[in-house]
Amino acid sequence: MNIVIRKELLPGDDERIREVLESSGYFQAREIDVALELVQEALKKGDESGYYFMTAREKSRLTGYICYGPIPMTLNRWDIYWIAVDDRLRGRGIGGMLLEQTEDHIRTLGGRKTYIETSSSMLYAPTRRFHEKQGYILEAVQKDYYDDGDDRCLYVKVL
């Protein structure tokens, strides 16, 4: 598998990103709509949108992506908003590659900490394990954030 990481979105990536998000089984339609709004914003405005993207590609086909950006009104703090890999390719290190290169890029931009949030539901147990494997520490849990019994888990990593 020859994966190339790119720091840009290309026209047409929005449809492939939709397919990747749908393949995962993790995201509801409204969540996918929000993710695609960020893609459209970045395609129109570039870095001025406040959203940065990296894509993983195999033979020019988008296989995964990550969306991140500086947290407004903070100093050197960044959010990782979205990370997703085509379900057929999950477990091959693509997500880790995307996250590692994103963290390197954030460092070059002066970033000192990154934050990732996810759900406490059992569906997201593999996601939480992934974050922990990548060196993220569970810093806070907000009870019943997404819904009754579905907490928000906030992970942090010092770069």
Share of the chain above pLDDT 70, in %: 99
What confidence tens digit (pLDDT) does each residue in 72-100 have? 999 999 999 999 999 888 888 999 999 99
pTM above 0.85, yes or no: yes
Residue 123 has pLDDT above 80, yes or no: yes
Which residues have CB under 8 Å from 67's CB, separation 6+? 35, 38, 39, 42, 51, 52, 53, 80, 81, 82, 83
For 25, other C-beta atoms within 10 Å of its C-beta total 8
Asked if pLDDT for residue 1 goes beyond 80, the answer is no
For the chain, the structural domain boundaries read: 3-111, 114-159
Which helix (H) or strand (E) segment holds residue 97: the answer is: helix 94-108
Tell me: the pLDDT tens digits for 11-44? Answer: 999 999 999 999 988 898 999 999 999 999 999 9
Q: What is the distance between the alpha carbons of residues 51 and 80, in angstroms, rounded to a whole number?
A: 10
Domain 3-111 classified CATH 3.10.290.10?
A: no
